[in-house]
Every structure is written in structure tokens, then in C-alpha cells.
């Protein structure tokens, strides 16, 4: 056996030993191979999500401006094979303070460093597909996507791995994005960062540089964390990052599983490379042999069914999307391309061949016939369920994965994006109008604001009137138009009138 083949086997065995310590679905132990995906993770948020992907065995490049963030990242990666990741520290900066313009500057000033590190990276050059993972509220991540997507696209297309078409003369995109959207407590600046970056992603998609964009809504993560009474995670960030890395890892392994009808790597890439928003759904069906009680289910990815009842296919498809925190809130009438994978036992008490056909029809009904392109399907038989930590052979369990690329943003994200951009536009108009005013005009406004009318029946003492007059004179000294003094005769007349008021 060739030495290179032995090295490949050792890498696979090493990856499996790592996988066995994790809570991924047990069936991936039988896959032996996953799609060759790579991840480039700029910023703190991207780094935290990427740490879970490295542990799953995917090559990952981390980019950051802040030394403390990098040290924290090293702690998360403790014990992980260093061949699986690379850390790039951007020079001349120590954080971006959540300011996108600083992130853009950091990237611009380190362009040569980034190009050198990525253009010569054989792991990226030889991979099947690459994801850029970033938070939308900060500076480093939002400032990186444009440059990174173009560099990675150039590196991967140098192999001419995608065929040219009329729509994509240079081939379909080989890069997608995974972005974390700020929660509802975010201030205007993070929301504006997110809005501007989403517009930039949309522009890169229209240019054929970027494919799909998976949006992780932090507010959905928080809501899910608070509603889960059986939570074993220390915080919502840890749980959210784990869920994201888990579903991506499992789909990558499914692509290399043998199936009666397979959703293979080419079809998987066909979905990922389609510009738009990527919605991922996962639903686990457990045949309890009893009447299902949805109110008692704690896991948003699990739905119990009764083996004696006929499967409600339309409801299953609907739950696969609406129960998933990575697929809620979309207008599925704008779906472009999709896929579905079913994992079941060969002697399943949940699914048979007829059920698969009916599920395909239910998915078409759910999308109201709006799917612009095609839907790819796969059915996989496995006798390994449970988790990688504790696997079992369960005939009463099945898992459904759904993938859709939608030509729109999720409702909440879309509304907040429009609101943030409108608020910034109004702010810029106010600033522009203020700059047009002369100093004298601004002081004039202050004077008008300070002036108060006194009712005719109100008596004022001489000291009050003199104090007010003095205050007005002090303001008017600054004004170019109020620099002249009153003639002496007018002053004498005014003093006489003041004495009469006393």
C-alpha cells in the first residue's frame, strides 16, 4: 500500500477518534469520510463558531486583530491537532471596537499578509468548498468578507473546479458565508454594521463571487436557550455555536454515505453555491408507539409520532423547517433550489419507500410549487443511531434534513436591516444640514431658543431684567452680526424706562 494512502487512513482514524468524543448523530461513524470543506473565520464571533468545526475535523483559518481574542481562541483549541488550523494576526491593530470602518482599514493595511497566507494555502486550494464565518455586529468580521471572498474564490477557481455556464461564465461560486446576526438588544452601530455587510454580501452574490449565505440569528438562539428547560449548556452562545457546527458537520458526512438515492457532494455543492439565503432544517422522528404529545417535547429538533397513525407528511415537512432555528422566518415561496436527506434504519418502523415518495410530494406542496430550480433527495439506511459518544441500533428513529436557498432575507433580519439603513440615512442628512449652517445661524438658533415671552401683566424687578439683558449681551458678543453697540441716547432712554418699572 502506498505511503500516502497509509497517511490518509491514519488521518481518517484520528478524525474518527475525535468524533467519538462528540454528541453528533451516531450514523456519521459509518461514513468514514466527510466532504472536504474548509472554513475561514475572521473576528471573535467567527472564531468561536470555527472552534467547533475544527474539533469536527475541518481545516480552519482564523483571522483576528486582538491578541486577547487569539489567546482565548488558543484555549478553545487546546488539544486539537495544529495541522487542522492556522491563526493569522493582523498587524498594527488591537481590536476594532465593533467599528466596521476600522475592520476595513485593518484588512486593507494587511492585504499583502492575507493574500500571502491564503493564496499559498494548499488546503484551501484543494478543498471542495469554503465557508467564510463571521459575526455581523463587530468590526473585523464585517470588514473582512469582501476581500476574503475574492481571494478564496481566485484560489479555488484556479483549479477550474466549476464548469462555466451562461449565467456563471467563471463557473458557480465556490465560497459561501455563515454570519451571526445581532440580537434584539443591539445598538444602532452593530445593526448598521450588519446591514451594510448584508448589502455587501448581496452585491458579491450578484457578481457571482459568493454562493449561499447562512444567517444565524442570535435572537433565535437566545429564545431557544431560554425555552429549553433541560439545557445542559452554560450559555446560549455555546449552545448556538454547537448547533451550527453540528448540522454542518452531519450534512458533510451525509454527502459521502452510501444510499438508495444519494444527495452526493456534487448535488450538495449545487445547493450551497446558489446565491441567496441558506435555510437548514433538521427533524428527528421517534416512534414511541404511543400517542404523540407535542406539548411535552423539549428539543426543537425532535417530534414524536405514533406508529399506528398515518404519517402526516405535510406536517412533517412544515415542522422540519419551522422548528429549526436555521430556517424560521423565511418566505419559502421565494425558494430557488433545495434538497432533503432521510436517515433511517433498514428495518425502520418509521419510514418505508412509499413514505419517501410522499415526503417529496409534501415538500413540493409546502413550497407551493415555487422551487425555481430542482430539489435533490437522498435516502440512507444505517443501523447506527444515538450519538457518536453513545451509539445504538434504533429501528424506531429517523432523521430528516432539509436544505433550501431562498431569494430573500429572514423577516426579522430584513426589517431590521431596512430600519438601520433608514436611521443612518436620516442621521447623515441631519449632519449634512448642520454643516451647511454658518456659526452665526447656529448662534441665532440658540438665541431664539433662549428668548421667552413675558406676559404683559407680569411684573419683573430691575435686577431680573438687567440679569437677563446681560446674559443676552454675552451671547451676542460671539455673533458677527451682533457685535455693534447701542447708541448712548438709546441706552439712557432704556435706563429711564427701567427705573419707571421699579
Q: What would the grid cell of residue 475 be?
A: 451671547
Rounded to 10 degrees, the C-alpha dihedral 86/92/95/100 comes to -100
Q: Are 174 and 129 in contact (CB under 8 A)?
A: yes
- CA–CA distance, 294 with 300 (Å, rounded to integer): 10
- CA–CA distance, 237 with 219 (Å, rounded to integer): 11
Q: Are 48 and 76 in contact (CB under 8 A)?
A: yes
- Chain centre to alpha carbon of residue 329: 14
Query: Residue 297: what pLDDT?
Result: 38
Per-residue three-class SS string for 70-84: HHHHHHHCCCCCHHH
Query: Residue 149: what pLDDT?
Result: 94
Classified as helix, coil or strand, 430 is helix
Residue 14's Cβ-count burial label (10 Å; 0-12, 13-18, 19+) is middle
- CA–CA distance, 423 with 403 (Å, rounded to integer): 34
Q: Are 181 and 413 in contact (CB under 8 A)?
A: yes
For residue 334, CA distances in Å to 47, 177, 192, 341 come to 32, 20, 25, 21
Query: Residue 292: what pLDDT?
Result: 44
- CA–CA distance, 210 with 48 (Å, rounded to integer): 22
- CA–CA distance, 252 with 36 (Å, rounded to integer): 8
Q: What would the grid cell of residue 198 be?
A: 448584508
Rounded to 10 degrees, the C-alpha dihedral 216/217/221/223 comes to -160
Can you give the C-alpha Rg of the chain in angstroms?
A: 31
Q: Are 359 and 316 in contact (CB under 8 A)?
A: yes
Q: 448-452: list long-range contacts, CB under 8 Å, 24+ apart.
A: 450/475
Residue whose C-alpha is closest to residue 198's, from 225, 170, 179: 179
Residue whose C-alpha is closest to residue 122's, from 86, 168, 150, 81: 86
Q: What would the grid cell of residue 17 be?
A: 477518534
As a whole number of angstroms, the longest Cα–Cα distance in the chain is 117
Packing angle of the helix pair 188-206, 411-436 (nearest 10 deg): 110
Other C-beta atoms lying within 10 Å of the C-beta of residue 188: 13
Q: Are strands 335-344 and 397-406 parallel, antiparallel or unpaired?
A: antiparallel
Overall pTM > 0.85: no
Q: Are 26 and 385 in contact (CB under 8 A)?
A: yes
Q: Are strands 385-386 and 391-392 parallel, antiparallel or unpaired?
A: antiparallel
- CA–CA distance, 216 with 279 (Å, rounded to integer): 10
Query: Residue 363: what pLDDT?
Result: 82
Q: Are 344 and 299 in contact (CB under 8 A)?
A: no
DSSP 127: S
- φ/ψ of 352, rounded to 5, equals -135, -175
Q: What is the pLDDT along the chain (502 residues), one digit of tens a residue?
A: 344 444 544 454 455 566 666 778 888 887 768 889 999 999 999 999 999 899 888 999 999 999 999 999 999 998 888 999 999 999 999 989 888 999 999 999 999 999 999 998 999 998 999 999 999 998 999 999 999 999 999 888 665 555 666 666 667 899 999 999 999 899 999 999 999 999 999 999 999 999 999 999 999 888 888 887 776 777 888 888 888 888 899 999 998 888 778 888 889 999 999 999 999 988 888 877 654 443 333 445 555 555 445 567 888 888 877 778 888 888 888 888 888 899 999 998 888 777 878 888 888 777 766 666 677 888 888 998 888 888 888 888 889 898 999 999 999 999 999 999 999 999 988 888 877 665 566 666 665 655 555 454 544 554 554 454 444 444 443 344 333 444 455 445 545 544 554 4
Which residue, chain included where needed, has cell 415518495? Answer: 357
Interval 438-490: pLDDT, tens:
556 666 666 565 555 545 454 455 455 445 444 444 444 334 433 344 445 54
Amino acid at each position: 500500500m502506498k505511503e500516502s494512502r497509509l497517511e490518509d487512513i491514519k488521518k481518517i482514524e484520528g478524525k474518527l477518534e475525535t468524533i467519538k468524543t462528540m454528541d453528533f448523530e451516531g450514523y456519521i461513524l459509518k461514513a468514514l469520510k466527510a466532504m472536504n470543506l474548509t472554513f475561514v473565520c475572521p473576528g471573535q464571533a467567527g472564531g468561536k463558531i470555527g472552534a467547533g468545526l475544527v474539533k469536527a475535523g475541518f481545516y480552519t483559518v482564523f483571522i483576528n486583530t486582538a491578541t486577547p481574542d487569539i489567546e482565548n481562541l488558543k484555549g478553545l483549541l487546546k488539544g486539537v491537532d495544529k495541522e487542522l488550523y492556522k491563526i493569522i494576526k493582523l498587524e498594527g491593530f488591537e481590536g476594532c471596537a465593533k467599528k466596521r470602518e476600522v475592520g476595513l482599514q485593518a484588512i486593507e493595511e494587511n492585504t499583502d499578509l492575507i493574500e500571502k497566507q491564503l493564496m499559498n494555502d494548499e488546503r484551501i486550494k484543494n478543498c471542495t468548498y469554503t465557508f467564510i464565518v463571521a459575526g455581523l455586529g463587530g468590526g473585523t468580521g464585517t470588514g473582512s468578507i469582501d476581500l476574503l471572498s475574492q481571494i478564496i474564490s481566485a484560489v479555488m477557481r484556479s483549479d477550474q473546479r466549476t464548469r462555466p455556464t451562461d449565467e456563471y461564465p467563471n463557473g458557480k461560486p465556490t465560497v459561501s458565508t455563515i454570519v451571526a446576526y445581532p440580537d434584539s438588544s443591539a445598538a444602532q452601530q452593530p445593526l448598521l454594521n450588519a446591514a451594510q455587510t448584508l448589502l455587501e454580501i448581496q452585491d458579491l452574490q450578484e457578481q457571482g463571487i459568493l454562493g449561499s449565505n447562512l444567517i444565524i440569528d442570535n435572537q433565535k438562539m437566545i429564545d431557544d436557550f431560554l425555552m429549553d428547560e433541560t439545557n445542559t449548556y452554560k450559555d446560549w452562545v455555546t449552545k448556538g455555536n454547537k448547533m451550527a457546527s453540528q448540522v454542518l458537520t452531519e450534512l458533510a458526512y451525509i454527502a459521502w454515505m452510501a444510499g438508495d438515492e444519494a444527495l452526493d457532494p456534487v448535488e450538495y455543492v449545487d445547493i450551497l453555491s446558489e446565491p441567496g439565503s441558506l435555510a437548514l432544517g433538521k427533524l428527528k422522528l421517534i416512534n414511541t408507539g404511543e400517542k404523540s404529545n407535542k406539548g411535552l417535547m423539549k428539543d426543537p429538533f425532535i417530534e414524536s409520532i405514533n406508529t399506528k397513525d398515518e404519517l402526516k407528511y405535510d406536517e412533517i415537512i412544515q415542522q422540519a423547517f419551522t422548528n429549526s432555528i436555521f430556517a424560521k422566518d423565511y418566505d419559502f415561496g421565494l425558494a430557488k433550489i433545495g434538497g432533503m436527506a432521510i436517515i433511517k434504519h433498514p428495518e425502520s418502523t418509521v419510514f418505508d419507500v412509499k413514505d419517501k415518495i410522499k415526503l417529496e410530494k409534501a415538500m413540493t406542496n409546502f413550497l407551493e410549487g415555487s422551487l425555481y430550480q430542482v430539489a435533490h433527495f437522498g435516502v440512507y439506511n444505517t443501523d447506527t443511531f444515538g450519538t457518536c459518544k453513545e451509539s445504538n441500533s434504533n429501528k424506531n428513529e429517523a432523521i430528516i434534513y432539509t436544505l433550501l436557498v431562498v431569494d430573500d432575507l429572514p423577516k426579522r433580519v430584513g426589517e431590521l436591516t431596512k430600519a438601520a439603513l433608514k436611521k443612518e440615512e436620516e442621521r447623515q442628512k441631519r449632519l449634512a444640514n448642520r454643516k451647511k449652517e454658518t456659526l452665526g445661524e447656529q448662534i441665532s438658533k440658540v438665541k431664539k431658543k433662549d428668548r421667552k415671552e413675558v406676559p404683559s401683566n407680569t411684573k419683573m424687578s430691575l435686577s431680573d431684567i438687567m440679569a437677563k439683558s446681560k446674559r443676552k449681551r454675552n451671547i451676542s458678543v460671539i455673533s458677527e452680526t451682533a457685535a455693534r453697540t447701542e447708541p448712548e441716547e438709546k441706552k439712557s432712554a432704556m435706563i429711564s424706562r427701567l427705573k419707571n418699572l421699579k
